[in-house]
Each structure stands twice: as structure tokens, then as C-alpha cells.
Amino acid sequence: MSEKPETKTVASEPESRPSRRGLFSSVGAGAVAAAIVNPGKIFAATTPAIPSIRIAKDITDSLAEATKLGSFDAKGGMTGAEVFAKSCKDEDLAALFCCPGNYQIINAISAAGIPAFGGRSEGSMTSAADGFSRCTGEVTACSGTEGPGFTNMIMNIAVAHRARTPLLVLASNVTIATDDREYFIQTGYQQPTTEGLKKYGKRLIAPDRIHEYTAYAFRHLKTGVPGPVHLDFPGEIYNHRFMAESEVKEYYSKEKYRTESRPHPAPKDLAQAVDMINRAERPVIVAGHGVFFRKAWEPLMVAAEKNDVAVVTSGPMRGHFPDEHRLSASLSPDAFMSADLVVFVGQYSMPSKTERWRFHPDAKAIRVNPTGEDLGRNWPLDLGIVADEGAFLEGLASDLPRKKRDAWVGELAAARQKYEKQLLDEYEQGVKHSQATNTVHHAVVCKEVHDFLYKGSIDPKQTVTGWGGWTIGNCGARWLRAYRPGQEVNCPYQYSAVGPDLAMMIGAGAAVQLGVGPQAPYKGAPVLVITSDAGIAYSMFELDTAAKYKIPIICVVYNNNAWGMWPSAVGTPRSMHMYLFQENLRYDKMAEGLGARGEYVHTQDDFRKALKTSYEVASKEHVSTLINVQALKDFTSQKDYPPGNIINPEPGVGALAH
Amino acid sequence: MSERLPTKSKKGARDTTTALVTGILEGYAEKAVFRGFSAHPGGDGKAAYRMVWHHDRPFELSLNVPGKSLRFPAVLPGVPARSDMYRELRAFLKSRQTDEVPEHRRVDPAKARLTVSNQRGIVSLALAVRDGDFEYATRKLIQMVHEIFMVFLLDGPYFEYMVERLGLDPDRY
């Protein structure tokens, strides 16, 4: 049964809050003495009502402050941090997510007017920045303090690296003067720590080269295949004062230090690609990360429609080709094996042929990548093309002849119908399991979310969604849809980390609140994430961050009392305890303690009602809700509760590995 | 001499067919369908091929030109003959010979006959070549095995089977 909807947050007006000192003074000296003897009794008798959670006036005042860019003309000139922040502003850095630490840098970035968000752990803030980027394609930054803050970010940097997110990782790093002296706890060699997890990195050591290395950073972030860039700042850099522009070396504008020029396909390569596509009977374009990052969805659509080429989306975000389109193969996995030509465009993370990517052994392959060094890796090619994804697709849109492929389009439709029937069959099984156990099966959870977001009164294109977890994640991916660019964030993409989901979607929610890039038409809408009880533990405290910034998110937690991999212990019963949690934990109550709403449900009807209420509150009051959906771990078992956990075919909906 | 000509011609044809099948399989290796490959000619139109393929497991394909057959003696381990899984596998393969799938995905019964058998839980797959078109048969047999792993196992309730029997690391999926 769902609990009574209640929005107990979030007033920003001043409220009298008893301090500990005040409390004791009102009780009086005698009572204090008694409290020492019997504290519980005395407090029960004299403690005033517990103050409600609220957003402090200091926060709203701070957010209302005017922006202030540094200037060499100011008294005291500019600090290194201000020079860096101004460069970030000039480069349209979209947002910063951080925890305190690296103070001068984050303060200067926020002061410069770049949207900045402070959260509860550096790792989660890194994923929030990642999520913001995944649904906008923009460069975002994260920051933490040297030592513990920085090392807390590592897993999340790795997640961003595997997704090729253009993420600017910032961290302070003591001072050059104290290098190698074990100066308190925060010393550390950061750059080796991110080895293998970044596209470029640099510890800055010369103050007057700060702009030069900012240029390095943005060249890497905005050119070629994206990826994290890691800059670490010793105190000598961000504290350095520059009294004149001439003191900063190579201080010139972005138009001089990088280029917007993109590689166009060689004419003979483009002609060969056009010929191969035109000759193929059942061609499919795999539209990967690069199509989204290069905002190339329009030429993709034109090219596909002109020649009846199927399109399947892939990557850490989906929607750059709409799922409902007649040429979309994203819901037609049974047709993949029929394709006789696969055209990978901007597919940065290449699968191997015997992973889940189910293409025919005889299918020919073309791959288009903005740089040449990766062409031919993992998947041998019949044609490799070095080209910007947008430029290639514009070439296709221009040069492909008009052609109809009715049989191929019909096969895509039949495969989609088969896939949707399969989903409904799984749902019917889930309904029976739910009713038999008085809990909610994962297929029921996901079908309800699907129907609510896409079949009801909400514009199906409106809500940005994300998913994570194991049993629930695999299922959620099958039911969530993407009808426009940036609508679905594939949280566990490639690295398959458990836990960043909520934080990532809070970042995506921030992008929707700001209306950045493809989110502009849906500015202010809520976002939704489906995650697991294992995953929520990693970033649940960021519900405080969502509440603080009024980022409305509906967080559906599939609570099955276990890590998804519990079946791994079935053969060794003595190990099972390591895979299990306490049963019936109340994540909804924890959410309430963090300033969000909580809903507890264990029936399908109550879940449906909770979704509706949560969405209304999110839309109207910008308040987040965690819906704790009670399930059973045994639903994962294919033997005991068929269909159990189903592995998704790739690419398309549910694609996880590449 | 003239009496022996047909025999020599037959041998030549067998060699040509063996070379054809070997070339096709080498082509799959060059396209990374297989991750490792070697051919082991046996003479008299017979050959064995070894490849590293799905789940990085070794597979063996035997060619018998005079017997007009191609056979994978061990495609899947640990599938009891009376299990639901084996029954469903047979149905899946049968569907690949009917209009349940588009023509380009089908094994044409006029050209080749697909048979599946089970010996002590080990599933084997063979194609009997009916019209002498070994290229067709080779490509179709490779396709069928590929579909068993990429479609049948992934679409069905076989995750636990893959973990238990094929050594799948659950964290990798």
C-alpha cells in the first residue's frame, strides 16, 4: 500500500531552529544535570518539535548572487583560478559538479556564471557531470579535493572514460613546494592514478602556462573521439596572481588554439560507401556516440529515409534516431542477423563478433570514425573511413539515391512485433509472480513505467530516463524508449558499474532544468531513473543534492533484498550471506530523511498510483520521490520464476556492453 | 589410363571442394568470426577444422565430401536429451528450415538437410549436402551455429546455463 503523498519540504524562509546551546539553556541547569543522569527521559520531556528539513536561506541567497568574471584590471589582478575559470566560460563549459575542495577553482568557476552544483560525494558528482554530458553532448566538469576527494572519483571517472564522455576532471593537489614530503594526508600523484582512464591529463606546474594547458584540455575535449581530461592544480597555480594579460603565456582565444574544422570523407570512400549501401539488400546503420556528440541526427534521418536504410542506436545515450520510426531496428533484434551490410558511424566502443552483437557472419562492414587509429580494431572492415560523423552522414544524405526496400522494412516491423510480444509475455508472467507473492516483479515495474511515460497523458518525448542495476536494469532497458535525442541515458554502458545511476540522472535532471541542448524543448520536466537496491546505496545521499537544487527526479528502487549476482552463491550455500541484505529495507524512509518524498509499494496498483503522484509532485513542486518497490530476489532465477533475468541482445534497446 | 580418369577426376573434385570449404572458413577467420583457426586435411575429401569461437571455446568441424556432409560434433555441452532446453533447441532449428524466418535466413531443404543430435548431453549439428553446393552448406552451417549462440541462447532463459556450462563470467554480461 502506498503511503499518503506528502510534501514536507521545502521552505526557504527563515525558521527558528533550536541550537544545541539554546536547547540546553532553555532546559536549565538542573535539567542538564538530570539529563546527564537520564538523558533519554529528560530529552523526551523537553525537546521541542523536530524542525523540518528545509533549504537554507544561505543557499538561495548564494544562488541569486550576480556572476563575476575575473579581470586583470581588478585590484589584485586575476588569480590563476580566475584565469582558468574565464577560459572555461569562453569555452562554454556547460556545468560543474563538485564537492568542496579545490576551493579557488570551484569558487572561480561558480563566480564566472557557469552552473555549479555541490553534492555529497565526489564520485557521485563525477557521475552527475557524466549524466549531464550524456543527455546534452556538452563538456561538463567535476571537481574534488586532493587526496581523498580525488580518489573517491576514480570509479566514476572510469565510467565516463568507457562512455567517452567529454568530462573535465579537476582536482587540487597540494603545492609543488610540498611535493614528496607526505605533507599531511592529501598528498598524491594524481596523473598516474588516472592512467588508462582519460584521454589527456596534466599536473600544472608553471603558473604562467595555465591558459596553454586549458587549451590542451579543450582541444582534447572538443576534437576527435571525446574522453575525460584530468587537470590537477597545485596551490602555486591557482593562487598565482597575474597583474596583466602579458604575464600569462600564449593567452589567446579558442579560435586560435583549436579548430572547428572536421575531417570530411574522401570522395572515393564516400562513393564506395554509397555504392555498398545501395547494393546491399538489408543495410543497417549503427548510430553510435559520435552521431549524438556531433548532433548529426538530422542528416542521419535524411540518409536513412532516402534509401530505406535501417538504423539502430547504440552508445551511452539513445534517441538520436527515434525508436518508433519505421526504419528503427532498435526494437527489432531478430532482424539484426538478416543485415547484409553494417555501417558503424561513431561507434567508439567496438564489440567483438561473438559478443552480444548479433550480426550475420557474412555481413559486410563499413566503419566511420573521426580518427583512423581505431579502424579495424575488433571488427575487421570491408571499408574504413576517417571522417567526422556529421560530415559523413551529410555526404550520404546527399549522394544516396532514393530507394525503397519494402521487404526489409517489413522484416523490421515483423521483428519489432515479435519483440514486443515477447515483452508482453514476460510481463504476463511477471503479473502472475507478483500476485502470487504480494510483491512486484521487475517486468511489472518496467511495463508500468513504460505505460505511464509513453502511453498516458505525458508527451512521450518529454521525460529523460536512465536505468541501472542488474535484474531490474536489464528489464528496464527493454521497456524504456527514446523518441528524441538525449532522451535515454544508458547508465551502466560498457563499464557496467553498479551505483552511479541516481547521481548520473540527477546530473541529467540538472541539464533538463537548465534546458541545455536537446533538452531545451522540455526544460523543467522531471527525469526518472530505474535502479536497484544494490545500486542505490552508492548515491542515495545525492537526493539531498536534488532537493537542494530543486531537480525533480523519480527514483524507482527495485528492492529485492540482494545483490543481483546472488545466484553465483547458489552452488556454495555458505557464501550466500555475502550476497544478501536485510530484507524489507526502507529506502523510502531514507529518502524522506534527505528531503525527498518516499513511497513504499508492494503491489502493481500501488506502484501505478505512486508513479502518478510522484510525477505530479515533481512537475508542480520540483520535489523528488524515491519509490521503494518491494520485490523478491528469487525473481532473478530463470528456473524458479521464469523468465527470470533476461540478457538483452545488442545493439538497440537494452544494449549494455558496447 | 582412361579407366582411371573418372577416379582422378573425382579426387580432383574432392580436393577442389575441400579447398573451397577451407577458403570459406579461412574467410570467416579473417573476418574475426573465429578468433583462432586451423585446417587439418585428412585426404579422400575429408578434413577437420578447429576454431576458437563462441565463449572462446574450441570447436571442431568435420568435412566429409564423399559423405556429402559437414558436422560440428560438439556445439553445446550439458544439454540432456530429454530436457526442455533440447526440445526448444530442436524447435528453434526446425524453424530455420521453414517460413517462420525470412528466406535469406533459412536452410533450404532442397539444398541441405539440417540434423541435430544428442549424445550423452553433447549436442551436435550436421548438414547433409543435397545438391553438391558445399559453399551454401558451409555458410549455412556456420550461420546456424552462430544463431544458436547469438539468438537461441540469448533470447531464451539460458543465462544460468551459460554461466554453469559455458563458463560465462556473469559480470561480463
Report ipTM for this prediction: 0.93
Cell of B124: 551436435
| Closest approach of A83 to chain B, Cα-based (Å) | 44
Please indicate if any CB of chain A lies within 8 Å of the CB of B158: yes
Asked if residue B173 belongs to a domain, the reply is: no
Cα separations (Å) of A485 from A16, A95, A298, A429, A459?
46, 19, 10, 33, 15
Question: Could you tell me if A568 lies within 8 Å of chain B, comparing CB atoms?
Answer: yes
**Are the Cβ atoms of A337 and B102 closer than 8 angstroms?**
no
Between CA A651 and CA B33 the distance in angstroms is: 17
CB-CB: which of B55, B143, B171 is closest to A360?
B143
Does residue B73 lie in a domain region? Answer: yes
Span A517-536, pLDDT tens digits: 999 999 999 999 999 999 99
Distances (CA, A) of A569 to A46, A256, B173: 51, 59, 17
Phi, psi of A550 (to 5 degrees): 55, 45
Closest residue in B to A334 (Cα) is: B151
Binary contact (B31, A281; C-beta < 8 A)? no
Reading phi first (left if > 0) and then psi (alpha if -120 to 50, else beta), residue B78 is in: left
Is the residue at B140 inside a domain? Answer: yes
Tell which CATH classification among 3.30.70.1230, 3.40.50.970, 3.40.50.2300, 3.40.47.10 matches the domain A66-257.
Answer: 3.40.50.970
Residue B95: pLDDT band by 50, 70, 90 thresholds?
Answer: very high
Q: Quick check: B166 contacting A, CB < 8 Å?
A: no
- What are the residue ranges in chain A where pLDDT is below 70? 1-47, 185-186
Place of cell 579461412: B26
Task: For residue B160, list chain A residues with Cβ-Cβ distance below 8 A.
Answer: 567, 637-639, 644
Least CB–CB distance from B143: residue in A281, A361, A649: A361
CA–CA distance, A535 with A556 (Å, rounded to integer): 11
Owning domain of residue B73: 5-167
The alpha-carbon gap from A32 to the nearest alpha carbon of chain B, in Å, equals: 56
Interchain pair A639, B160: CB under 8 A:
yes
| CB contact (8 A) between residue B31 and residue A568 | no
Task: Go through A363-386 and write b for each residue having 16 or more CB atoms within 10 A of its CB, e for each that does not.
Answer: bbbbbbbbeeebbeeebebebbbb
CB pairs under 8 A between A and B: 83
Q: How far apart are CA A80 and CA A213, in angstroms?
A: 12
Contact A644 B157 (CB under 8 A): yes
- What is the CATH architecture assignment of A438-636? 3-Layer(aba) Sandwich (3.40)
Q: Are A288 and A368 in contact (CB under 8 A)?
A: no
What is the nearest CA distance from B109 to chain A, expressed in angstroms?
A: 19
Q: How confident is the model at residue B85 (pLDDT cuts 50, 70, 90)?
A: very high
Q: Choose among B102, B139, B154: nearest Cβ to A338.
A: B102
For residues A169 and A229, the answer to whether their CB atoms sit within 8 Å is: yes
CA distance linking residue A137 with residue A517, whole number of Å:
8
Place of cell 564489440: A351
d(CA A286, nearest CA chain B) in Å: 18
The answer, for A418 touching chain B at a CB cutoff of 8 Å, is: no
Contacts of A144 (CB under 8 A, 6+ apart): A98, A99, A101, A102, A122, A125, A126, A150, A152, A153, A170, A171
Whether A362 sits inside 8 A of B139 (CB atoms) is yes
Whether A646 contacts chain B with CB within 8 A? yes
Give yes or no for B171 touching A (CB within 8 A). Answer: yes
8 Å CB contact between A409 and A326: yes
Where helices occur in B83-155 by DSSP H, the ranges are 84-95, 134-147, 153-155
A353: nearest CA in chain B? B33
pLDDT bin (cut points 50, 70, 90) of residue B7 is: low
pTM of the model as a whole: 0.92
Q: Does B147 touch chain A (CB under 8 A)?
A: yes
| Predicted local confidence at residue A42, as pLDDT | 41
The DSSP string of A180-249 is TTT-GGG---HHHHTTTS-SEEEE---GGGHHHHHHHHHHHHHSSS---EEEEE-HHHHS-EESSGGGST
- B35 occurs within a structural domain: yes
* A354 contacts in chain B (CB < 8 Å): 33, 35, 53-56, 149-150
Q: Tell me if domain A66-257 and domain A438-636 are identical in fold.
A: yes
- Can you say whether the dihedral through the CA atoms of A261, A262, A266, A271 is positive or negative? negative
Chain A partners within 8 Å of B139 (Cβ): 361-362
**What pLDDT is stored for residue A39 in this prediction?**
38
| Among the listed residues A475, A465, A476, the one whose alpha carbon sits nearest the alpha carbon of residue A502 | A465
Q: Specify the residue for cell string 563462441.
A: B54
Chain A interface includes B150 (CB < 8 A): yes
Q: Does A77 touch chain B (CB under 8 A)?
A: no
CA distance from start to end of chain A: 39
CATH code of the domain in which B24 resides: 3.30.1460
Nearest residue in B to A423, CA atom? B155
**Contacts with B147 from chain A: Cβ below 8 Å:** 337
Question: Mutating which of B155, B158, B168, B171 best tests the A interface, going by the most A Cβ atoms within 10 A?
Answer: B155
To the nearest whole Å, the CA of A182 is away from the closest chain B CA by: 38
Q: How high is the pLDDT of residue A11?
A: 40
The per-residue b/e assignment along A558-570, b for 16 or more CB within 10 angstroms, e otherwise, is bbbbbbbebbbbe
Residue B14 Cα distances to A147, B10, B60, angstroms: 70, 6, 20
Q: Using the beta-carbon criterion (under 8 Å), do B32 and A646 form an inter-chain contact?
A: no
Contact residues, chain A, for B158 at CB < 8 Å:
638
Three-state DSSP at A83 gives helix
For position A185, what pLDDT does the model report? 65
Residues from chain B contacting residue A379 (CB–CB below 8 Å): 32
Cell numbers 545500486 correspond to: A535
Give, in words, the CATH class of A267-409: alpha beta
Residue B119 lies in a domain: yes
Number of domains present in the structure of chain B: 1
pLDDT of residue B160: 86
CA distances from A489 to A269, A455, A503, A528 (A): 33, 20, 12, 10
Residues of chain A neighbouring B56 (CB-CB closer than 8 A): 354
Residues A134, A136, A137, A143, CA torsion sign: negative
* Strands A241-242, A78-79: pairing kind: antiparallel
Indicate yes or no: CB of A649 within 8 angstroms of CB of B53.
Answer: no
Nearest CB neighbour to B150, from listed A337, A638, A639: A337
Tell me which of A337, A420, A426, A471 to substitute to probe the interface with B (most B C-beta atoms closer than 10 Å): A337
Quote the minimal CA–CA distance from A353 to chain B in Å.
6
In chain A, which residues have their Cβ closer than 8 Å to the Cβ of B103? none
Q: What b-and-e string marks burial along B36-46, b requiring 16 or more CB atoms within 10 Å of the CB?
A: ebebeeeeebb
Interface membership of B99 toward A (CB under 8 Å): no
Instruction: Report the pLDDT value the prediction gives residue A31, as an integer from 0 to 100.
Output: 37
CB contact under 8 A, A353 and B33: yes
- Residue A210 one-letter amino acid: I
Taking the C-alpha atoms of residue A287 and residue A319, their distance in angstroms, rounded to an integer, is 10
Rounded distance between C-alpha atoms, residue A105 and residue A99, angstroms: 12
**Which chain A residues have a beta carbon less than 8 Å from that of B99?**
none
Test the B interface: residue of A281, A331, A353 with most B CBs within 10 Å = A353
